[in-house]
Amino acid sequence: MTTIRPGRAALHVFIIAGCLIMVYPLLWMLSSSFKFNTEIFSNTTLWINDFTIDNYIQGWKGVSGVTFGTFFLNTFYIVGMSIIGTLLSCSMAAYAFARLNFTMKKALFAIMLVTLMLPFHVTVIPQYIVFNKLGWIDTTLPLILPKFFAVEGFFIFLIVQFIRSLPRELDQAAEIDGCGPIMKYIYLIMPLAMPALVTSMIFTFIWTWNDFFSQLLYLSTLSKYTVALGLRMFTDSTGQNSWGAMFAMSLLSLVPLFAVFIFFQRYLIEGIASGGIKG
């Protein structure tokens, strides 16, 4: 490799220092998850005096016979379906806004953005009423179905911006080759917008995973609970807290999030290597 220049070394040091700052809370949670409850707050350093894996065992047991295994499965299901729904519907809408022309396009785009601007606490009650009338309470339908209808305007906007950065010559070349709009969508734009799609997928995964409020409202039966809800049951301001178990399970729950990110981040690397179309 090249010789290490001082500038480069300094850069590495800086970045590594930054990493420590990013990661310190995670390290603290990790060390706490191996401490007894009584030690977690009496000894707040990263050093563990009495090591125990009890938190993991007890934590995994969950509540009343429903283990975190169930919670994880439930969450994976909801998250998986949300990703499919979001990617499909948002990419379609984004393609329409970015590449197609139709009347009222600008107005509709504005409306889409406006739907992002209303704080969700005030739409909670009317939405709950609607879902209640439909009889969907205590099912995963209120959590999943909206995703198939592109309610997450954030992703529409994100993908739009990415598509708009793609040069039009690619489109024109495709049209010359006889591609209609639907073919263009499937074979040209979507592959090229892969970084945006992967980003959307990662964010959908993480945000749906952490979206405890909707899960709280719409899931009542314990066996349908998700990881986020399960975590919230370990602490209660009026009772006893099981911090060790909570930290242990929180860390476990970060594992899939982290894994998804690590695994898919290489797709963020593959952008356009050259300016032309492949194949």
Partner 1 sequence: MKMKALLIGILCLVFVFGAVACSNNTANEPAPANNTKAVEKEPAPAAEEPKKEELEEVEIRFTWWGDTKRHEKYNAIVDEFEKAYPHITVAREFGEWVDYWDKLATQSAGGNAPDVVGMHMTQVANYASRGALVDLQPYVDSGVLDQSDFPKPVTNSGVIDGKLVMIAQGVTMSGWVYNSGLLERLKVEPPSFGWTWDEFAAKAKEVTTAFNEKGHWGATDMGGDVTSLIYYSRGLGKNLFTEEGKLGIDQQDMVNWLTIWDNLRKEGSVPDAATTSEYRTAPLEQNLFISGKVAFHALPFNQIPNYQNYIKDGEVRALRKQVNPDGKNGEFIEGAYLAVTSGSKNPEAAAQFINFFVNNENAIRIFQLEQGAVGSTKMNELVKTLINPAQQRAVGAIEETLAFAETAPLPPKGQGEVATALLAANESVGFGQSSVEAAAAEFVKAAEAILAK
Partner 2 sequence: MQAIRTFWKNNWVGYFFLSPWLIGLICLSAFPMAFSLYLSFTQYDMFTSPNWIGLGNFTEMFQDRKYLNSIEVTIKYVLIGVPLQLTFALCIALLLNRGLRGLRVYRAVYYVPSLFGGSVAIAILWRQLFGGEGLVNEFLASFGIEGKNWVSTPDTALYTLIILAIWQFGASMVIFLAGLKQIPTELYESAKIDGAGRVRQFRSITFPLLTPIIFFNLVMQIISAFQAFTPAFIVSGGNGGPLDSTLFYTLYLYQKGFTHFQMGFASAMAWLLLLTIAFITALIFVTSGRWVYYQE
* Interacting residues toward partner 1 by CB under 8 A: 37-38, 40-42, 62-64, 103-104, 124-126, 128-130, 132-133, 137, 212-213, 216-217, 220-222, 229, 232-243, 245
Residues 1-60 contacting partner 2, CB under 8 A: 11-12, 15, 18-19, 21-23, 25-26, 28-29, 44
101 lies in the binding site for partner 2 (CB under 8 A): yes
Q: Which of 5, 65, 107, 117 binds partner 2 (CB under 8 A)?
A: 117
Token duo for residue 142: 């209120």
Cβ at position 59, least distance to partner 2 in Å:
13
Question: Residue 66: helix, strand or coil by DSSP?
Answer: strand
Burial 84-119 (b: 16+ CB within 10 A, else e): ebbbebbbebbbbbbbeeeeeeeeebeebeeeeeee
| Residue 181 binding target from partner 2, partner 1, none, CB below 5 to 8 Å by type | partner 2
Residue environment code for 208-247, b if the CB has 16+ CB neighbours within 10 A, otherwise e:
bbebeebbebbbeebebbbbbbbbebbeeeeeeebbbbbb
Q: Minimum CB separation from partner 1 for residue 34, in Å? A: 16
Considering the complex, what minimum distance in angstroms separates the CB of residue 138 from partner 2?
A: 19
Which residues have a Cβ under 8 Å from the Cβ of 70 and sit 6 or more positions away?
62, 223, 225
Say how far apart CA 164 and CA 97 lie, in whole Å.
9
Q: Which partner in partner 2, partner 1, none is near 216 (CB below 5 to 8 A by kind)?
A: partner 1
Give the nearer residue to partner 1 in terms of CB position, either 59 or 200: 59
Give Cα separations from 149 to 85, 86, 152 (angstroms): 7, 8, 8
The residue behind tokens 């982290």 is 258
Indicate the residue among 213 and 263 with the shorter CB distance to partner 1. 213
- Residue with Cβ nearer partner 1 (128 or 187): 128
The nearest distance, CB 68 to partner 1, in angstroms, is 12
- DSSP label of 63: B
Quick one: 167 or 223, whose CB is closer to partner 2? 167
Q: How far is the CB of 91 from partner 2 (least distance, A)?
A: 9
Rounded CA separation 235/253 (Å)? 16
